[in-house]
Amino acid sequence: SAVISQKPSRDICQRGTSLTIQCQVDSQVTMMFWYRQQPGQSLTLIATANQGSEATYESGFVIDKFPISRPNLTFSTLTVSNMSPEDSSIYLCSVRGETEAFFGQGTRLTVV
């Protein structure tokens, strides 16, 4: 298993601002994943972050809105840009083992 530290754990932000979420893993991993979890809905994959290359975004998510950095094999950041109340959600960092996915504790974002 992997230990994933994510921060901040929660934040309340003004609309129009940006928030950067950090994710640290206790071991080197090739791919790191960013999810969004909205109330009552399934976890939705935002993007896959590979070290040394641009992130791969899922349909409905774009780099300008959710820029991602992956400077090394244990760290990644997700920025939520130009926030609106619709961005209020839980954002989760994830890595994968042989068969399973492991998650950080999540960042609960409220945009007011």
Partner 1 sequence: QKEVEQDPGPLSVPEGAIVSLNCTYSNSAFQYFMWYRQYSRKGPELLMYTYSSGNKEDGRFTAQVDKSSKYISLFIRDSQPSDSATYLCAMRGLGYGQNFVFGPGTRLSVLP
Which residues would be at the binding site for partner 1 (CB under 8 A)?
1, 4, 6, 9-10, 40-43, 45, 92, 96, 99-106, 108
Nearer to partner 1, 16 or 33 (CB): 33
Nearer to partner 1, 13 or 43 (CB): 43
Q: Cβ(103)–Cβ(48) under 8 Å?
A: no
Longest dimension (CA), the chain: 40
Nearer to partner 1, 36 or 80 (CB): 36
Instruction: Give, as one character, the DSSP assignment of residue 12.
Output: E
* Shortest distance in whole angstroms from residue 96 CB to partner 1: 8
Q: What angle do CA 99, 63, 2 make, to 5 degrees?
A: 25
